[in-house]
């Protein structure tokens, strides 16, 4: 009998992409899963989409267990609550705007059976969304198989509980914080080839920069609890860029766009960080 995998999906007004996310779970080659949607008081049709999916698909095929829960105040608390109500040997955090390659969960379970306590699933931007997504993909794909700038979302439940779950005090960088706790605990992290596609990429440049400004304010708390790791994880000059120097040569337009994008990203993030740091002082 294959091990049960609990997929935790935190939602808040996630109606735009949730159905596609759930469909990608239905299409997984690995079938012994349960789906737990943890909603944070959505005012759109998120809960209705989840309930309709349960009725039309899950009860029809009898493939999965399904739970729709309500919890907040933000995604880390939602995921922790979902894990507490899960039944699986493994737990897998999946954002509601992700769609998974059909072999993602199967590859994660196989990797875990090789002795890994946690597994990284690379999340790649959907370049159909906007020109910003092309630049984001240029950057993000450099992080595949790089543990410094990656974080596991597929974890043995006992490991999840041992490291103390997601830190609910950190609202930006919680994935980094989670991976740092895995590293400190001495748990091996593996990587798989199959990926998740991120549909919710930004389409408005300035709204995207506003998000990094808000992230910067939140990173004050993250840095306090991850002093040694934050220098590498949040630095402007990252060794992974130099390891992938050929990408900049082969794709000069994307490389130039990334440099400019990165400049603005760190400028806005740094401004948010300084503003919040000064307020605390």
Separation CA 5–CA 125 (nearest Å): 25
Model confidence band, residue 58 (pLDDT cutoffs 50, 70, 90): low
HSE of 133, CA atoms in CB hemisphere, 13 A: 15
Q: Is the pLDDT of residue 64 over 90?
A: no
pLDDT for res 249: 96
The single residue listed with the structure tokens 């400028």 is 267
Q: For the segment 162-176, what is each residue's pLDDT rounded down to a tens digit?
A: 999 999 998 888 999
What pLDDT was estimated at residue 268? Answer: 96
DSSP-assigned states of every residue in 76-124: HHHHHHHHHT---SEEEE--TTEEE-TTHHHHHHHHHTTT-SEEEEEEE
* Contacts of 53-56 spanning 24+ positions with Cβ under 8 A: 53/19, 53/22
By the 10 Å C-beta count (0-12 exposed, 13-18 middle, 19+ buried), 150 is classed as buried
User: How do 65-70 and 33-39 pair as beta strands?
Assistant: parallel
Q: Span 93-118, mean pLDDT?
A: 98
What integer pLDDT is reported at residue 65 of this predicted model?
Answer: 85
pLDDT at 22 over 80: yes
Q: Whats the size of the chain, residue-wise?
A: 281
Strand partners, 10: 38
pLDDT score, position 62: 55
The distance from CA 78 to its chain's CA centroid, rounded to whole angstroms, is 14
For residues 271 and 227, the model is more confident at 271
Q: Are 130 and 123 in contact (CB under 8 A)?
A: no
- The rounded mean pLDDT for the chain is 93
Query: What domains appear along the chain, each with residue ranges and CATH number?
Result: 5-203 (3.90.550.10)
Residues of the chain with pLDDT > 70, as a percent, come to 97
Please tell me the predicted confidence (pLDDT) of residue 212: 93
> Are 132 and 202 within 8 A, CB to CB?
yes
Contact 106, 5 (CB under 8 A): no
What's the pLDDT score for residue 224? 86
Confidence band, pLDDT 50/70/90 cuts, at residue 124: very high
- Angle, vertex CA 182, rays to CA 177 and CA 185, nearest 5: 125
Per-residue pLDDT band for 60 (boundaries 50, 70, 90) equals low
| pTM exceeds 0.75 for this model | yes
Q: Under DSSP, is residue 48 helix (H, G, I), strand (E, B) or coil?
A: helix
Nearest to 198 by CA among 8, 24, 5, 39: 24
Of the ranges 103-117, 199-213, 243-257, which one carries the lowest mean pLDDT score?
A: 199-213
Q: Per-residue pLDDT tens for 68-90?
A: 999 999 999 999 999 999 999 99
- Confidence at 256, pLDDT banded by 50, 70, 90: very high
């Amino acid at each position: 009998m294959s091990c049960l995998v609990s997929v935790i999906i935190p939602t808040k007004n996630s109606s735009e992409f949730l159905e596609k996310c759930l469909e990608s779970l239905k299409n997984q080659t690995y079938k012994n899963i349960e789906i737990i949607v943890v909603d944070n008081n959505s005012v759109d049709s998120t809960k209705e989409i989840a309930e309709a999916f349960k009725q039309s698909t899950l009860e029809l095929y009898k493939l999965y267990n399904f739970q729709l829960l309500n919890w907040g105040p933000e995604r880390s608390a939602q995921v922790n609550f979902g894990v507490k109500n899960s039944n699986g040997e493994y737990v897998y955090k999946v954002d509601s705007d992700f769609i998974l390659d059909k072999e993602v969960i199967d590859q994660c379970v196989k990797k875990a059976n090789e002795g890994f306590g946690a597994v990284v699933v690379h999340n790649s931007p959907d370049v159909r969304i906007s020109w910003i997504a092309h630049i984001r993909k240029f950057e993000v794909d450099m992080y595949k198989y790089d543990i410094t700038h990656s974080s596991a979302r597929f974890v043995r439940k006992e490991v999840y509980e041992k490291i103390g779950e997601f830190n609910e005090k950190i609202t930006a960088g919680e994935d980094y914080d989670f991976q740092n706790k895995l590293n400190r605990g001495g748990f091996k992290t593996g990587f798989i080839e199959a990926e998740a596609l991120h549909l919710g990429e930004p389409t408005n440049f300035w709204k995207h920069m506003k998000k990094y400004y808000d992230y910067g304010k939140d990173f004050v708390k993250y840095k306090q609890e991850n002093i040694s790791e934050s220098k590498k994880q949040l630095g402007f000059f990252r060794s992974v860029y130099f390891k992938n120097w050929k990408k900049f040569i082969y794709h000069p337009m994307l490389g130039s766009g990334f440099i400019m994008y990165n400049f603005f990203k760190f400028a806005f993030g740094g401004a948010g960080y300084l503003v919040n740091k000064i307020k605390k002082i």
